[in-house]
Chains A and B, each alone.
Chain A
């Protein structure tokens, strides 16, 4: 398979709902791995996902997923699972029937459909609740059964629209572990979520979108370093945080300092990360400050979101 066929490709894609802009002139290649779609409500995240899966068609441009398009649905949807955020189901079915029916429609042997249903339900840990009517499910259980339906046929690409909504912390952790496991198995995952600090831990890439426009995309650290107007923040755990901050200010390697609330460290902002680390090594070597740990403090999706989009969702 060629490298291009491993990717989800948007080629100058726009989508308008009448006069309302969905997304505008998106050109994007998403390689395999776990990709997080980040943006405020109404940014166009769901539109992007619906475009990927053919639930809406682009007004202009082309979308392909692993070299396939919805024009060949048999092959396309065997390779794609989409867990939408629509919290609704066909009337009167149990969780087991819901997953089983969706597999039966694939046209696979019935015994295979039953086996895959049991496997998917076990994977999302729905248990005996699968044999109860979905109408009586909690929101978290409905989320689980939707997830089971989207992964049951072993797709190569899994698209998840707000998959952590409605889940309690334990279920969220289980879901994230499952996403991580699926990613490690080589599945292509595209996740939109507003629970950024949790999704961020498992994501390889981030796509920032607001108002229908693509703001940034790529590896999270690379995107963060590209935000030059917001100097990088580094947390340094040490025995004399005030002394370290004053030394860094003295040699112009620091533009902002903030003590950690526990007093055992300091957050420093720097405009030149390479030079900053070089000077930090010198300070550590002269022995005046004992440095225990160094870690970037704002190269995560949440920080990038705040810097590039802002809390009100408008581009900064």
Chain B
């Protein structure tokens, strides 16, 4: 009862206002900066390739299934494993470590904002930025992929499984941004240079399907695989990425990933509380 009263007496409205404004400032800095150009490149390069393919290699209605598989492959092998992974590394590492390197983090730490609110607002800003960039890129990929099929493409989208697949892909992209974002935000507080840790994490994500089921729960991509609307198969070295694992219902995969994100963010908040400004050692 006492705890409930303590919780109720917290200035939630102030924290919400502060978080909202911090998020707005950070989103502006994330999205409208020349330094973000390479992230736009990562996100939109598949769209550019699909566009070129559509222009120079006209589609036939019989290819829809094949192109649907290609699109699923682009999402699973390119976006989740590379595009969103490295895009989030760039976006979320900048939020704390980048500001330490640029020696501007202290302005935030000297403001009358709880550090947990600051961290969560930065995470929200990074997530919004990443979801906007990669979500719109995937939407564009989808449109371009089926646009070339004309009436058959429209039929696949609006009367077939197209829109459902699009919804799944956008959900996967959003969860990937949240999952990788939380991990890289934590890495950027744990390590002066988070890139080597991110490379190890990339390796961990790659071999995760062949690890014991308990360890598979410590992976972002493992949860996302269960949400794919179209199953993909790869050959050669990449086959390790598509090793079948024990099926998990979609709701359980989403919940599992959200719990993982919450756990990582909770630890990040603890790290944020004890963070010190020592620019000279950066």
B168 interface hit (Cβ, 8 Å): no
Q: Cβ of B279 < 8 Å from any Cβ of A?
A: yes
- CB–CB A73/B114 < 8 A: yes
A105 and B109 contact, CB distance less than 8 A: no
Chain B contacts with A in 105-140, Cβ cutoff 8 A:
106-115
Give the number of residues in A that approach B within 8 Å (Cβ atoms): 30
Q: Judge whether B17 and A55 touch: CB under 8 Å.
A: no
- Of B11, B25, B35, B109, which one neighbours A101 at CB under 8 angstroms? B25
- Tell me how far the C-beta of A236 lies from the nearest C-beta in chain B, rounded to whole angstroms: 48
**Contact call A56/B278, Cβ cutoff below 8 A:** yes
Mask: chain B, 34-71; 1 = CB below 8 Å from A; 0 = not: 01000000000000000000000000000000000000
Give the docked Cα–Cα distance between A149 and B111 (Å). Answer: 11
Min CB gap B42→A, angstroms: 20
Q: Are A104 and B29 in contact (CB under 8 A)?
A: no
- Shortest distance from the beta carbon of A50 to any chain B beta carbon, whole Å: 7
B192 at the interface (CB under 8 A from A): no
Closest to A71 in B: B273
Is A197 part of the binding interface, using a Cβ–Cβ cutoff of 8 Å? no
Are A55 and B21 neighbours in the complex by a CB distance under 8 Å?
no
Write the chain A residue with the least CB distance to B112: A77
Are B276 and A73 in touch, CB under 8 angstroms? Answer: no
Is A92 in contact with B114, judged by CB distance below 8 angstroms?
Answer: no
Assess the B279–A73 pair: CB atoms within 8 A: no
B18 at the interface (CB under 8 A from A): yes
Is B104's CB within 8 Å of the partner chain A? yes
- A104 to B113 CA separation, bound complex (whole angstroms): 11
**A116, chain B: closest CB distance, angstroms:** 14
For A88, list chain B residues within 8 Å (CB). 102-104
Bound together, the chains give a CA A82 to CA B108 distance in angstroms of: 12
Contact A107 B277 (CB under 8 A): no
B11: chain A residues at CB < 8 Å are 74
Contact between B18 and A105 (Cβ–Cβ < 8 Å)? yes
Cβ of A125 to closest chain B Cβ, rounded Å: 22
Contact A55 B277 (CB under 8 A): yes
Given contacts A50-B277, A74-B11, contact A107 B21 (CB under 8 A): yes
Q: How far apart are A304's CB and chain B's nearest CB, in angstroms?
A: 28
Q: Contacts A74-B113, A105-B21, A106-B111 given; indicate if A90 touches B104 (C-beta within 8 A).
A: yes
| Alpha-carbon distance between A97 and B163 when the two chains are bound, in angstroms | 42
Interface magnitude class on chain B: 20 to 34
Bound-state CA distance A15–B174 (Å) is 43
Most buried by B among A55, A92, A105, A106: A105
Q: Which of chain A's residues 61-96 have a Cβ closer than 8 Å to chain B? A: 73-78, 80, 82, 84, 86-92
Q: Are B111 and A57 in contact (CB under 8 A)?
A: no
Whether A82 pairs with B110 at a CB distance below 8 angstroms is yes
Determine which of B17, B111, B114, B278 lies in contact with A102 in the assembled complex, contact meaning CB atoms within 8 Å: B111
Bound complex: CA of A53 vs CA of B59, how far in Å? 64
On whether the beta carbons of A91 and B277 are closer than 8 Å, the reply is no
Smallest Cβ-Cβ distance to B114: which chain A residue: A73
| A91/B29 in contact, CB under 8 A | yes
Q: How far is the CB of B237 from chain A (nearest CB, A)?
A: 40
Contact status B17-A107, CB under 8 Å: yes
Query: B33 within 8 Å of A by Cβ?
Result: yes
Cβ–Cβ contact A76 & B112, under 8 A: yes
- Residues of A contacting B107 with CB < 8 Å? 89-90, 102, 149
Determine the chain B residues whose CB is within 8 A of the CB of A80 once the complex forms. 110
Contact of A86 with B279 in the complex, beta carbons under 8 Å: yes
Give the top 3 A-B pairs by smallest Cβ distance, nearest first: A88-B103, A77-B112, A55-B277
Binding site for B on A (CB under 8 A): 17, 50, 53-57, 73-78, 80, 82, 84, 86-92, 101-102, 104-107, 149
7 CB contacts below 8 A, A to B, read A57-B276, A75-B112, A86-B104, A86-B279, A91-B29, A92-B29, A105-B18
